[in-house]
Structure 1
Amino acid sequence: MVHQEQFSLVGAAGKPIYGDLSYDPQNSNMPLVIFVHGFKGFKDWGAHDLVAKYFVQNGYRYLKFNFSHSGVIADNPTDVTDMETFADNTFSKEMLDLDVVINHATNYLGVDGAHLIGHSRGGGLSILQAANNPSVKSLITWSSIADFSSLWKKEQEDDWRKTGKIGVYNARTKETMPLNVTLLNDFETNQEILNILAAAKRVNIPWLIVQGDEDVNVPFSTAEQLANANPASRLVKIAGANHVYGVTHPYRSDTLPAQLFEVCEKSLKFLAHNFK
């Protein structure tokens, strides 16, 4: 039996962080996994609920949440619709949100730490947290970026500074989504703090790097970069997998696609090997 409990917290700039915790009510001592979504992502995207259920069936509590500036509102949890809030996001705001979630979850559940799973941009944030937050007990990254500035083109920066805004195309919704120049300013002001590869070298907890070899968003060489930065990490290749391991949104099936199932299996095996 899998139970899901909804919650909300106050995040960056007073905006709400909406989340849910999936667990087995008959086993209150299961270790905690926190999932960190990526750019243009959110906790109810694709097969995230199925992943949560699968982890619970295999002995874990699974927490996922929307960043306060994800642009996803309570009344419409399955799409980014609040473009003004989305545009106003920064990496520092997401780091603050992740701190809030980890601190609240570990205190509320009375655990001494959590296992982080970060996808794409969420992988980069999770690497930073793993290098700095003693409450993070292990790190799993799925299709992680190695540099936040890889999320835009260098040649966009001059126009971005001049106009105060750029647009990023969402292939799924066919929308152009706005990003304010505060994102660029935040990255440039905090480059040292937000240096993913530098943080990767300082990760001293068990770390599994998962990457598809047909990912057009984040090439396999990025995973190799991360693995080379931290030789103690373990790199697993998912053959033929794209950036989201065969999932689409909305996801209509009640079973995980084969590649994402493989990702979950490898992740659970890694956790079992290191912590059981």
Structure 2
Amino acid sequence: MIITQSHTLPGAKGRNMLMDLTFEETNPHAPLLIFVHGFKGFKDWGTHHLVARYFAQNGYRFLKFNFSHNGTTPEDANDLTDMIAFSENTFSIELEDLQYVIDFACSGSVIPAVQSVCLIGHSMGGGISIVKAAEDKRVSRLITMASVASFRNLWPKEIEKQWKLAGVLNFTNKRTGQDMPVKSTLLDDLERNPGRLNVLARAADVQQPWLLLHGTADTVVLPSHAHDLKAMQPNARLALIPNADHVFGATHPYVQQDLPLALQELCRKAVDFLKDV
């Protein structure tokens, strides 16, 4: 039987992060995977629960969490409603959050038998996972899904000057139509930490086994990002999913009981990789 346990953990600036751990009841000490969601994402978006079950059924524990400033709240975990928190998010905050999650997982206080973790990061979360893998040796394996090769892929370069002048830039949530403000402190963070937050440069520092997964029909983060990352880290394995978009066929909400075909293929490739290294 598949079990899902819920936990709450303080994140950056003391803001709580919700997380859940999915595993097969007969395999409570299975290897641990930590899923890192992307920009305007959250742990319960779309198909994430089905992905968690897939990995649990294939011999892994799957931990997914909400970044502390991703726009969700403990009271409303299924939508982006806290625009104050969202506006104050930075990449360094997300790295701090991920550090807390890895510390929590490896402490042994709640999740038993964890000495190392595998990170699975999607889109912006892929970039965060690359940086963290490069600097934290408790990360034993890395899987990225449609990962950015630069955090600046999230907006047009030419708007940065006006963004700084205005102090805030609105990002439109295409699903809901809402304007989601992001303060220019996000740009300040990039400029204060040019080495740490250079995803391509950090890709060269990744020593762990790494699987790069990307859809050939991704128009949000172009497949060229995967090739750029592979060029920086030749030891990484690159697998392209034919005709897959940025979310590998998923939607939110997602009412079907089975994974989309492209996401099924991605999960199969990921499990094959994990069992091979």
Decide: shared fold, TM above 0.5. yes
1:204 Cα shift? Answer: 0.8
> Which residue matches 1:85?
85
* Residue 161 of structure 2: aligned partner: 158
- Cross-structure match for 1:95: 95
TM-score (norm 1): 0.98
Letter in 2 for 1:4: T
Check if 1:226 corresponds to 2:229: yes
Which residue number corresponds to residue 15 of structure 2? 15
Q: Which residue of 1 aligns with 2:186?
A: 183
Structure 2 counterpart SS, 1:202: coil
| CA distance in 1 between partners of 2:60 and 2:258 (Å) | 19
C-alpha separation in 2, matches of 1:155 and 1:235 = 31
Question: Is 2:147 aligned against 1:148?
Answer: no
Amino acid at match of 1:112: Q
Q: What's the RMSD between the two structures over aligned residues?
A: 0.8
Residue in 1 aligned with 2:177?
174
Aligned position for 2:35: 35
Equivalent residue number for residue 214 of structure 1: 217
The answer to whether residue 199 in structure 2 is matched with residue 196 in structure 1 is yes
Post-superposition offset of 1:34: 0.4
Partner of 1:113: 116
> Deviations along 1:189-208, whole A, 9 cap, x unmatched?
11111111111001111000
Would you say how many aligned residue pairs link Structure 1 and Structure 2? 274
Residue aligned with 1:97, SS: helix
CA contact (8 A) 2:29 2:113 kept: no
- Corresponding letter in the other structure for 2:68: S
Q: How does 1:122-137 map to 2 (within 5 A)?
A: 122-137=125-140
Q: Distance in 2 between matches of 1:181 and 1:29?
A: 43
Measure the CA separation in 2 of the matches of 1:261 and 1:255: 9
Question: What secondary structure, in the 3-state scheme, does the structure 1 residue paired with 2:107 have?
Answer: helix
Residues 145, 212 of structure 2: 8 Å contact kept: yes
Aligned-partner Cα distance in 2 for 1:68–1:56: 25
Q: Residues 15 and 68 of structure 2 are in contact (CA less than 8 Å); yes or no, is this contact kept in structure 1?
A: yes
The one of 239, 242, 247 aligned to 1:239:
242
Residue type matched to 1:253 in 2?
Q
CA distance in 2, matches of 1:154, 1:49: 34
TM-score by length of 2: 0.97
| Residues in 1 aligned to 2:75 and 2:28: alpha-carbon distance in whole angstroms | 30
SS of aligned partner of 1:8: strand
Q: CA deviation at 1:19?
A: 0.4
Contact 2:87 2:183 in 1 (8 A): yes
Tell me if the contact between 2:16 and 2:74 (Cα under 8 Å) persists in the aligned partners.
no
Do the aligned residues in 1 keep the contact of 2:134 with 2:202 (CA within 8 Å)? yes
CA distance, structure 2, for counterparts of residue 163 and residue 264 of structure 1? 42
Q: 2:72: which partner in 1?
A: 72
Quote the sequence identity (%).
Answer: 47
Contact 2:119–2:139 (Cα < 8 Å) also in 1 = yes
Offset of residue 101 of structure 1: 0.2
1:26 to partner: Cα distance = 1.9
CA distance in 1, matches of 2:88, 2:174: 21
Rounded Cα–Cα distance in structure 1 between residues aligned with 2:25 and 2:270: 23
Letter in 1 for 2:245: N
SS at match of 2:29: coil
Q: Distance in 1 between matches of 2:89 and 2:29?
A: 35
- Alignment partners' CA distance in 2, 1:27 and 1:179: 42
CA shift for structure 1 position 176: 1.4
Q: 1:261 aligns with which of 255, 264, 274?
A: 264
SS at match of 1:216: coil
**Displacement after TM superposition at 1:149 (Å):** 1.2
Shift of 1:58: 0.4
Gaps of 5+ in 1: none
Q: CA deviation at 1:25?
A: 2.2
| 1:272 CA drift (Å) | 0.4
Determine the C-alpha separation between the residues in 2 that align with 1:29 and 1:231: 32
Distance in structure 2 (CA, Å) of the matches to 1:55 and 1:98: 20
The superposition leaves residues 122-164 of structure 1 with CA deviations (integer Å, 9 ceiling, x where unpaired) of 0000000111101000000000001111111112111111111
Partner SS for 1:105: helix
